[in-house]
Amino acid sequence: MTDTTTDPYAAAESSTTEGRVYTVTGQDWDSLVTGVAESDDNKVVVNMGPQHPSTHGVLRLILELEGETVTEARCGIGYLHTGIEKNMEFRSWTQGVTFCTRMDYLAPFHNEATYVFGVERLLDIEDDIPEKARLIRVMMLELNRISSHLVAIATGGMELGALTVMTIGFRERELVLDLFETITGLRMNHAYIRPGGVAQDLPQGALEDVREFSKLMRKRLPEYAALCNANPIFRARLEGVGHLDLAGCLALGLTGPVLRSTGYAWDLRRTQPYAGYEEFDFDVCTWDTADSYGRFRVRLDEMWESLRIVDQCVERLAGMEGEPVMVADKKIAWPSQLSIGSDGQGNSLDHIRHIMGESMEALIHHFKLVTEGFRVPPGQAYVPIESPRGELGAHVVSDGGTRPFRVHFRDPSFVNLQATSVMAEGGQVADVIVAIASIDPVMGGVDR
């Protein structure tokens, strides 16, 4: 029973008068499990996770079972909390990128992009971003969407026992990570998209590598369709499982493939364009089954559309050799003209001589820009983008200093996990795995 005398926000009509009510106020989940287990009925409480291989990371599911049927399902999160949002308050605006890129570790460029877009809006430099930097950003975001969907399909297949889907999914993802390493120097946690542009220009031969990848993926993507789309075993495990219609998605605030599997074509790249997406030719992929199978098909179709966008980026970038990839304002732009030394690391001696030989004032300015950072006018901004899992946004607040006053992320995995109980309750234990896999949560983004 909800006590309306101590809770000013509890309305009398929302009181619960039937059944057992659990109020969880920060104590360990064990007390909740014990309370349910001590009840007199024949139900069994089972912990799935937080280290279970089929819960997409350190997610804990507390399942109340009656036989093989799930009568109640709750999520236990927080096992991967890293304090990223708080840590960003103690670093400069540019250094903040190195933190948020680690949240949803399967979509690092999307984490960087939504934060950087917010900073650029506060700086009022959105229209000053060089065309080449904008195209590189879109290309990297779409390559990242492909790699993330590949992991979603591969891990989902692995959890169902379709090991061939898993092996070829990770095979293709390795190719995308090779491209990331070529362009940014890192396979993950890139800190490549920065306020004002990108960290550095495309290396020699990178566009040709992207072209070759696109050609290869167009040959290999049909393998997933051949293995899964009409496979009677695969379809039997997914069709009708984890059903959630449009009304349920809207009520819970769900976005991404989960929402588009209901037939609703909501994609921020189309409905609220950013980074110049309105200039690209692509379709918003939907399905009409509102179940796990529909979410799989949406992700499969979206990889084709991402390849279309990547190809358009490559064609436009091909004629932009030598153009800038960072804003011209030297009070904001970190140096992006890096020259690799003879050991393959750091800066070459020629580049260091160039920086130190210009003038003492230039050297001092470079030192202050890197150590203190630039100032951002007071205000707040929220620029949502369409990540592989749905709407990802950063609420960025500035007090006029060289560090964020507050940064808070709206992560789609966190919001979408609300659907766990709706999708799982009333189904079989084995179907819980399918429902979670269809949501495709990444716990680094959930806990932050």
* Residue 306's CATH number: 1.10.645.10
In a domain, 357, yes or no: no
Whether the per-residue pLDDT at 110 is higher than 50: the answer is yes
Last residue of a domain, one of 76, 105, 124: 76
CA distances from 235 to 68, 238, 310 (A): 21, 5, 30
Distance CA(148)–CA(229), nearest Å, equals 19
Helix axes 131-160, 206-224, angle to 10 degrees: 30
Nearest Cα neighbor of 195 from 8, 322, 25, 375 is: 375
Please return the burial class of 250, using the count of CB atoms within 10 Å of its CB with bins 0-12, 13-18 and 19+: middle
Same-domain pairing of 103 and 196: yes
In a domain, 420, yes or no: yes
Same-domain pairing of 142 and 205: yes
Q: Which residue has the higher pLDDT, 412 or 426?
A: 412
What's the confidence (pLDDT) of residue 24?
55
In a domain, 360, yes or no: no
In a domain, 2, yes or no: no
Annotate 7-16 with b (16+ C-beta within 10 A) or e (fewer). Answer: eeeeeeeeee
Which residues pair with residue 46 across a beta bridge?
63
Same-domain pairing of 68 and 115: no
In a domain, 343, yes or no: no
Whether the per-residue pLDDT at 69 is higher than 70: the answer is yes
Question: Lowest-confidence range among 25-29, 148-152, 242-246?
Answer: 25-29
Same-domain pairing of 224 and 104: yes
For 243, residues 6+ apart whose C-beta sits below 8 A from its C-beta are: 290, 291, 423
What's the confidence (pLDDT) of residue 321?
84
Whether the per-residue pLDDT at 357 is higher than 50: the answer is yes
Q: Which residue has the higher pLDDT, 227 or 109?
A: 109
Same-domain pairing of 182 and 238: yes
In a domain, 202, yes or no: yes
Tens digits of per-residue pLDDT, 296-330? 889 999 999 999 999 999 999 988 888 888 888 87
What's the confidence (pLDDT) of residue 2?
47
Tens digits of per-residue pLDDT, 189-237? 888 899 988 988 888 888 999 999 999 999 988 888 888 777 888 888 8
Distance CA(434)–CA(417), nearest Å, equals 13
Please return the burial class of 431, using the count of CB atoms within 10 Å of its CB with bins 0-12, 13-18 and 19+: buried
In a domain, 355, yes or no: no
Helix axes 429-439, 131-160, angle to 10 degrees: 170
Alpha helices in 1-130 (DSSP H): 29-37, 84-87, 96-100, 108-123
Distance CA(437)–CA(416), nearest Å, equals 12
Q: List the domain range (segments joined by +) for residue 296.
A: 84-332+374-440
In a domain, 154, yes or no: yes
Average the pLDDT over 4-11 and give the result. 54
Owner of token pair 């109340």: 64
Distance CA(347)–CA(330), nearest Å, equals 19
Same-domain pairing of 100 and 126: yes
Last residue of a domain, one of 26, 49, 76: 76
Distance CA(444)–CA(448), nearest Å, equals 6
CB 447 within 8 A of CB 86: no
For 234, residues 6+ apart whose C-beta sits below 8 A from its C-beta are: 160, 162, 227, 228
* Six-digit token string for 268: 């921020």
Whether the per-residue pLDDT at 90 is higher than 80: the answer is yes
What's the confidence (pLDDT) of residue 448?
80
- Which strand (E) or helix (H) includes residue 442? none
Which residues pair with residue 62 across a beta bridge?
47, 74
Q: How many domains does the chain have?
A: 2
Same-domain pairing of 127 and 233: yes
**pLDDT, mean over the chain:** 83
Same-domain pairing of 52 and 34: yes
Question: Lowest-confidence range among 6-20, 61-75, 156-170, 285-299?
Answer: 6-20
Distance CA(72)–CA(333), nearest Å, equals 52
First to last CA, the chain: 33
Distance CA(219)–CA(360), nearest Å, equals 55
Nearest Cα neighbor of 379 from 119, 193, 195, 86 is: 119
DSSP 247: H
Same-domain pairing of 27 and 147: no
Tell me the pLDDT band of 378, cut-offs 50, 70 and 90: very high
What's the confidence (pLDDT) of residue 1?
46
Same-domain pairing of 97 and 219: yes
Same-domain pairing of 202 and 240: yes
Nearest Cα neighbor of 103 from 38, 227, 189, 12 is: 189
CB 57 within 8 A of CB 443: yes
What's the confidence (pLDDT) of residue 119?
92
CB count, 10 Å around CB of 399? Answer: 12
Tens digits of per-residue pLDDT, 159-187? 887 788 888 888 999 999 999 998 888 88
Owner of token pair 């003879």: 342
What's the confidence (pLDDT) of residue 12?
52
Same-domain pairing of 286 and 227: yes
